[in-house]
Structure 1
Amino acid sequence: MAASLYLVAGKTTDSVTHGFLPAAARLGLDTTLLTDRPAAHAGTHDGPLVECDVSDFREIIAAVDGEPAAIFSNSDFLQAPAALAAAYFGLPAKDWRAAARAKNKALMRRHLASLDPVFSADARRVPADAPYPLVLKPREGVASEDVFLVRDAAELATRRDEIAAHRDDPLVAEEYLPGRLHTLETLGDGRELRVLGSFRTTLSPPPFFVEERLEWTAPPPETPQILKQLEALGVGFGACHTEFVVHDGRARIIEVNYRLIGDHCDFLLADLLGVPLFEEILNVHLGEPLPAWHTPHRRHAIAEPVIADRSGKLTAAPGPLQMDDGPVRLAYRPQRSIGDTVAVTRTNRDYLGTVRAIGSEADEVNAALARFRAAHDWTIA
């Protein structure tokens, strides 16, 4: 009898639909998809699809039939409930407390205060002597949504009121951390935490924080500082995507996403490493140790989103593509479909699709990526 996997999901994502579900099938797992949005997932999964309140670990536990082999989620919002449900059944899982700390930015700052003190306050109670500029953001937000750089108390109040007009979850105001932005991609099996690699991230101009380009690079020499902070948070199992800045030899965490990197960089990471990454992540949740991997030869890679520059209806755009441009391997996966209405938000939600390029040299990768973008049209009417 096949081992049973319960995959806990909210909204549909390519990471689940085209990554983890096919990986589970290749592993021969009997997969049940638990979700509070069954209509959205209809047609993405051949196995059982069960509706439940996936934000509540008790509802996840109640939805499990029999003896599961693993309970897994790749959602930012569902790490803690999935971890609690897995712990109930005695399964390998993330520490639910670490998952809660990673998701809740106020808890994260409080927990790391002895290692790396960063000013952080409830956005409604920011003291007059706060170290402006500050970054205003939802306490448990994602995708740079409603994240703004504010330079004084008046601007803070204006932005706070703008956000409150369309969402009512808590906001925090944090000290702005200068420096070069990096990511750290890790995978742990409970015994070893393996660094998979790092991207250098290019952001849009302030006051917004849209990720415009991610470039594969060696982890900076300050990376051990981040690993120490992740250890303090309790991060050490499964996939984790950490964003941090380096300035004057000091590495400081911006946020911890206790799941695999998204926006199609997960597929780029799998291609770069040359390993079945999605399967290996599921395997650690099945109790398997990390296998030995050969370090890939030096390659250059870029993930570059195509970003909407206006609101309207998407009337022309390429579909999924894979092609070679000389020695450079290119792939494109759309995040919006022709006919979709696009509203510019100045967040990562403005992505129309992402181009991935892998080659041996930076110049050839950049040139191939530029040719690809010039050869295709994305039209918003």
Structure 2
Amino acid sequence: MRLYLTTLNPTDSVTAGFLPAAAALGWDVTLLTDRPGDYADGPAEVIETDVRDAAAVIETIAAHHAPDVVFSNSDHLQAATALAAAYFGLPAKDWRACLTAKNKALMRRALAAAGVETVRSVRLRPHAPPPDGLPYPVVVKPREGVASEDVVLCRDKAELIRVATDIWTRRPGAVLVAEEYLDGPLRTLETLGDGRTRHVLGGFATRLGAPPYFVEERLDWDPREPGDPEVGHVLRALDAIGVGLGACHTEYVVTGEGPRLIEVNYRVIGDNCDFLLADVLGVPLHEWILRVHAGEPAPEPPARPARHGVALSVVADREGTVRQAPPEGEWPGEVRLWHRPLRAVGDEIRLTHTNRDYLAVIRAVGPDRAAVDDRIARFRREHPWVVR
């Protein structure tokens, strides 16, 4: 089997997830990327390609080995990769679903048109004044943004104008969206489909940092039962968007009027939570995802496991220089704990109020929440991060 994997900057999901999974399956791998130097020391063949351009991806593959799987885990490359897979007659996501999921304005439009939900949302063209009558507070964000970057709560029109203007200084020409603020617990639903059947793998409860920003600080394994109305609502939303083949990570808020989607990420959950999901379920998740893109049926997930899992982001709370950083590693025991540093001693920290402020990710799996919380707290006492 020959896998073509399109990618941008290296991520743990690719380098520690999908590449080892492909090796375990015995597949040959060709990485297509616009950053070949970042992968030069890796195990896969690498070809420089304009991976945002479907035609360029198709041309590169056509001039190389015949493909069996064309796949990407990048938010930015889903539509182009889907078009390339379809060109070669391989299992492919619907490129329209990829585009709709990525574009927050199109997502809102699709959900409203299907009668799933309506969330007040307007597009803001560069330096155009916001319309009157918005239901403040609102959340402003890039229309096609990721990772909570430039996502800010604005309490009135003046604040919206100030924040939008600031974003446009960093993102000239970017279209923004301003949406009504959805108040309530933030949750996720993780799914995997083969284009015919879709399975719910589970979900997490998400804790955010202090407003006006939306930095994810902690995710706790907290799946809803299959018949829960929240699950049904999200699945109807995915149907309206056209999500079928592959993994999908959906974020939603449980408001007083019911669930309302925040965003649909047509890929597996990130920030090391894909590994947490695999650990909690006890399955080779990255292999499962690759196999459905090879045309295999989606495996049936196991029954709800009797254990708890947490992904805790160690977030910098001040600017300065990293003076002390715990090592990367795995600590066995009743609670298994993994520490993945994202910064190193000597790094300069400048706060961005996004996941770029993460110093590390700690994930832990154990028999219950109390045991997991105790183990994480003990690890942090024994292995502190120091920034000053």
Shorter-chain TM-score range: over 0.9
Listed as ranges, the matches of 1:122-201 within 5 Å are 122-123=123-124, 124-168=128-172, 169-201=174-206
Alpha-carbon offset, residue 6 of structure 1: 0.3
CA contact (8 A) 2:247 2:289 kept: yes
Alpha-carbon offset, residue 294 of structure 1: 2.8
Listed as ranges, the matches of 1:195-344 within 5 Å are 195-219=200-224, 221=228, 222-248=230-256, 250-325=258-333, 327-344=334-351
Q: 1:372 to 1:175 in 2, by over 3 A?
A: same
The residue number in structure 2 matching 1:89 is 88
- 1:14 aligned onto 2:12: yes
Picking from 323, 333, 357, the partner of 2:364 is 357
CA distance in 2, matches of 1:96, 1:198: 25
Alpha-carbon offset, residue 207 of structure 1: 0.4
The residue number in structure 1 matching 2:77 is 78
The residue number in structure 2 matching 1:28 is 26
**For each residue in 1:206-239, what CA deviation from the matched residue of structure 2 results, as whole angstroms up to 9, or x when unmatched?**
1000111100012262211111011110011101
Alpha-carbon offset, residue 282 of structure 1: 0.4
CA contact (8 A) 2:281 2:305 kept: no
The residue number in structure 2 matching 1:60 is 57
CA distance in 2, matches of 1:125, 1:233: 30
CA distance in 2, matches of 1:278, 1:21: 9
The one-letter amino acid paired with 1:355 is I
CA distance in 2, matches of 1:288, 1:171: 39
CA contact (8 A) 1:274 1:296 kept: no
Alpha-carbon offset, residue 249 of structure 1: 5.7
Runs (5+) with no aligned partner, structure 2? none
CA distance in 2, matches of 1:249, 1:193: 26
TM-score normalised by length of structure 2: 0.94
Secondary structure class of the residue paired with 2:96: helix
- Give the alignment's Cα RMSD to 1 decimal: 1.3
Bigger mean CA deviation after superposition, 245-254 or 235-244: 245-254
Secondary structure class of the residue paired with 2:170: coil
CA distance in 2, matches of 1:247, 1:63: 47
CA contact (8 A) 2:322 2:386 kept: yes
Secondary structure class of the residue paired with 1:78: helix
- Show structure 1 runs of 4+ deviating over 4 A: none
Alpha-carbon offset, residue 47 of structure 1: 2.6
CA distance in 2, matches of 1:336, 1:82: 31
TM-score normalised by length of structure 1: 0.96
Runs (5+) with no aligned partner, structure 1? none
CA distance in 2, matches of 1:259, 1:341: 31
Percent identical = 55
Secondary structure class of the residue paired with 1:165: helix
